[in-house]
Structure 1
Amino acid sequence: MKDETYMDAIKLLQDASATPENSVEFLELYRAANIKMFKDNLKTVDISIDEIDALNIIYISGTKGKGSVSAFCERILRANGLKTGMFSSPHLMEICERIRINGLPLSCEDFSKYFFDVYNKLNDIQNRFSFLTVMACHVFMQEKVDAVIMEEGAGGTYDCTNVIRFPTVTGINLIDFDHMEMFGDTLGKIAWHKAGICKPGRPAFTVTQSKEAVDVILARPKELHVIIQLPITFPTIDN
């Protein structure tokens, strides 16, 4: 078997078939089966949900500010002596940027190694983002990190990252118009998806939001038996 290189990994990701996100088929599959397929993929690569829960995850959703908040959290944890893992998207220059250990992107060599660890068990890339999420979980366990900062990929409620059952804390950043063909054409509809990452018994926080978004952000966690913490002063912003 020929050596498996970084460029081989990139080509496989680029060549992976993808149904257009605005298609009826994609939306139905996303809502009905995304999390189930992700769980099946985790099982195939010998990762259990219990192992995911043990990663001490800071779980972040929202439309704007996810990357900045993730970076702040990562730096604070690292400054306090913890070994960190971070998964975010999209990347700016290289896809390696999406998976970081102690603030540094994976090297091309490490990306290739971990990519093929996962790919050679799955033998398929059904969805680029969910594949990279499985890969990130594999990386974090192999690297034995103390804590993980995980961004949801799209939406929240039906996103593959929402297999997380016991995040250390969840945070909802600013809600704005985002993937409206998937999540709805109002801030309230979008907020319903973004707030779906909240988990019973786990602390949850948000930032100053529009009135339309905050009404849902207060109501949705209540449905999930979560009390969400608002800023000490919480003026809403105009839509």
Structure 2
Amino acid sequence: MALHPKVIDLTLDRMWRLLDALGNPQDNLPPVIHIAGTNGKGSTQAMIRAGLEAGGHAVHAYTSPHLARFHERIRLAGDLISEPALTALLDECEDANAGAPITFFEITTCAAFLAFARTPADYTLLEVGLGGRLDATNVIARPALTIITPVDLDHQSYLGDTLALIAGEKAGILKPGVPAIVARQKEAALDVIEARAARLSVPCQVHGQHWHAAPERDGMIFQDDNGLLDLPKPGLAGPHQIDNAGTAIAALRALGAAPGACAAAIRDAHWPARMQRLRSGPCIDAAPHAEILLDGGHNPAAGQAVAVTLAQMPARPTHMVCGMLNTKDIAGYLAPLAGRAESLFAVSIEGEPNTLPAARTAAVAEAVGLKASTSDTVLDAVRKIAADTPHARILICGSLYLAGRVLRDHG
């Protein structure tokens, strides 16, 4: 398939052209919940899906990037799309595109819309790829609900170099009169989101104003105008998942979900590479007594969330294995972790053209106060750590691309 030469090129013109050639499937989707934000989109979507499915609903879901297999991006009424079905849809989209410029994300998004339009379901969960205003997913005229998860600095070269500019791009998914759920935000981001919502007469449910979520004993509580819910602890690890769970519950309440579905949403959701503990595979074989965690966070807010999570875990010597892309704020990600790990082994991400060289990651780690060295591979780093500290906590982190490679090797 000959794709548009730019990896990322934010415009909707190519999408509108191809969708029109395909018969505009985006106009025939089950009710859409559209999700934008910098952090927490995937976890929030996973919780909403778990809650809706617990309530007996069939749910489509679109997410990116994938980790181990491309098929993870498209879920049809609960099941991952099959390879033959995906291949047929991509061929159909390529034929309709007739050789015109198109990006990989655009043509795969069109394929997802075709699949969603042709398969019965009750809801469609649609996660933005990048930004919001000009993202390929932002072609739904009237979604049932929009959601903006926490906005922070990331992808500045595409979205702007201030929180306000990035928030403006994320808020581009808001639609006139369509209800919106707004997660916890920094003031600069919230000001922009609320101003756009006011211009479009969007009824907003905003964290801290209209709903609240907080840990409570061994679980959490959620409160809004409809009352108080006592809920279990989120199944996804980390204290930041309380906020993500709150966002998901606010969305489910807006959709009329029952309390039992809300509890299932946060108890049963599964989302890989979010402080996920590895249970089997080469790294476990190499370090059988270690606790090995995998996380795909890659920006300063994610680094802070991981640091807080580590701080609340039982004390254990912690060592990092880190690989990052050269487009990220490496120092911003690593700085919060400097006090939480005894060492860092830097790796390059195999097969990824935008990988940051391991030596550069190690140099930045040293600059922010982490003892650092390099390794050829993740497995090599795990072996080195286990040789010195058999019962270590090993955190493999820094990129979803690195996480995906690890998951492919670990089933």
Sort the TM-score into its range (normalised by shorter chain).
0.7 to 0.9
2:160 equivalent in structure 1: 184
1:220 equivalent in structure 2: 196
Question: CA 1:48 to 1:92, structure 2 compared with 1: closer, same or farther past 3 Å?
Answer: closer
2:371 equivalent in structure 1: none
Higher relative contact order (CA 8 A, sep 6+): 1
Contact 1:60 1:151 in 2 (8 A): yes
Q: Which residues of structure 1 form unaligned runs of 5+?
A: 1-11
Name whichever of 117-126 and 151-160 sits farther off. 117-126
Structure 2 residue aligned with 1:82, among 57, 67, 71?
A: 57
Structure of higher CA gyration radius: 2
Q: 2:29 matched to 1:37? A: no
Using the alignment, how far apart are the partners of 1:158 and 1:49 within structure 2? 16
Question: CA 1:233 to 1:106, structure 2 compared with 1: closer, same or farther past 3 Å?
Answer: closer
- Match of 1:86, SS? strand
Root-mean-square deviation over aligned CA pairs: 2.1
- Structure 1 residue 233: deviation in Å? 4.4
Q: Which residues of structure 2 form unaligned runs of 5+?
A: 214-300, 302-411
Using the alignment, how far apart are the partners of 1:147 and 1:81 within structure 2? 11
1:9 equivalent in structure 2: none
2:94 equivalent in structure 1: 119
Using the alignment, how far apart are the partners of 2:144 and 2:113 within structure 1? 16
Using the alignment, how far apart are the partners of 1:75 and 1:49 within structure 2? 24
- Structure 1 residue 148: deviation in Å? 0.3
1:18 equivalent in structure 2: 5
- Structure 1 residue 225: deviation in Å? 2.5
Structure 2 residue aligned with 1:197, among 162, 173, 183?
A: 173
1:158 equivalent in structure 2: 134
- Structure 1 residue 44: deviation in Å? 0.5
- Match of 1:214, SS? helix
- Structure with the bigger percentage of helix: 1
2:184 equivalent in structure 1: 208
Contact 1:174 1:209 in 2 (8 A): yes
TM-score, normalisation: structure 2: 0.48
- Structure 1 residue 205: deviation in Å? 0.9
TM-score, normalisation: structure 1: 0.81
Question: CA 1:174 to 1:66, structure 2 compared with 1: closer, same or farther past 3 Å?
Answer: same
Name whichever of 221-230 and 169-178 sits farther off. 221-230
- Structure 1 residue 223: deviation in Å? 2.3
Structure 1 residue aligned with 2:112, among 136, 140, 144?
A: 136
Q: Which amino acid aligns with 1:45?
A: L
- Structure 1 residue 41: deviation in Å? 0.8
Q: How many residues align?
A: 211
Deviations 1:11-52 (A, max 9, x none): x3xx6342254xxxx4xxx3xxx2232122111012255324
Deviations 1:59-92 (A, max 9, x none): 0000111111111111222222222111110000
- Structure 1 residue 102: deviation in Å? 3.2
- Match of 2:12, SS? helix
